Chains A and B, each alone.
Chain A
């Protein structure tokens, strides 16, 4: 596809794990990013993964990359109410092109 695709909404209970999925467009993309946006704020970089990696873990965050299917996921363990936000995946394609973002997944955490 031509667009970075994400589900628009995800709702989880506090303490559960959240998994946010993303399908990107270009198998030659070198970097894949996850950003978080809280209400009224800009985008905050959460984590990123190089295309030669399959997995990256950073505290409660785990990123999985399936290059064959061009699928990226972000798992948040022990989800807290403070994790409620919009999560964007983005891909960087080589060749001096801008970062391309998905439309974002709104995560709602129910106490």
Chain B
């Protein structure tokens, strides 16, 4: 069974640009969660999608958005990038509430 796949693995952008990250969950998993990981703040929850609906949202500005498609694949978008958005963005999937999250390898975003 393939794991959670995140693309691209690395991205370099400049301030003001926008970026889209992609996540393919484990087959059969309908829940996809996104986390931002930085050295100072640790893992911070961005949002969770289940069956194409946003089920939970973290405390991030509106520049951060996401969506989920009918095949459970998910994308997150960050507009008007800031230097502070440099981080490792992790996607995780699970089959249902309470079951362990399975993480992808992450997308490392650097904003210059």
Interface membership of chain A positions 78-101, coded 1 if the CB is closer than 8 angstroms to chain B and 0 otherwise: 000000000010001010111111
Interface of B (DSSP majority class): strand
- What residues of A have a CB within 8 angstroms of the CB of B98 in the complex? 30-31, 92, 94
Asked if B48 and A98 make an inter-chain contact with CB atoms under 8 angstroms apart, the answer reads yes
Any A CB within 8 A of the CB of B19: no
Q: Smallest CB-CB separation from B4: which chain A residue? A: A42
- What residues of B have a CB within 8 angstroms of the CB of A88 in the complex? 43
The size bracket of the interface on B is 20 to 34
Give the residue among A35, A42, A44, A96 with the most B Cβ atoms within 10 A: A42
Asked if B42 and A42 make an inter-chain contact with CB atoms under 8 angstroms apart, the answer reads no
**Bound form: Cα–Cα A42–B103 in Å:** 6
**Bound form: Cα–Cα A103–B104 in Å:** 19
Known A42-B90, A42-B106, A43-B90; contact A99-B42, beta-carbon cutoff 8 A:
no
Q: Smallest CB-CB separation from B9: which chain A residue? A: A40
- What residues of B have a CB within 8 angstroms of the CB of A24 in the complex? none
- What residues of A have a CB within 8 angstroms of the CB of B55 in the complex? 96
Known A42-B90, A43-B90, A104-B42; contact A99-B101, beta-carbon cutoff 8 A:
yes
Q: Smallest CB-CB separation from A104: which chain B residue? A: B42
Interface membership of chain A positions 22-46, coded 1 if the CB is closer than 8 angstroms to chain B and 0 otherwise: 0000000011010100001111110
Interface membership of chain A positions 43-54, coded 1 if the CB is closer than 8 angstroms to chain B and 0 otherwise: 111001000000
In the complex, besides A43-B101, A103-B43, 16 extra interface pairs with C-beta distance below 8 angstroms are A30-B98, A31-B100, A40-B105, A41-B105, A42-B103, A42-B106, A45-B102, A96-B55, A96-B97, A97-B56, A98-B45, A98-B58, A99-B45, A100-B45, A103-B42, A104-B43
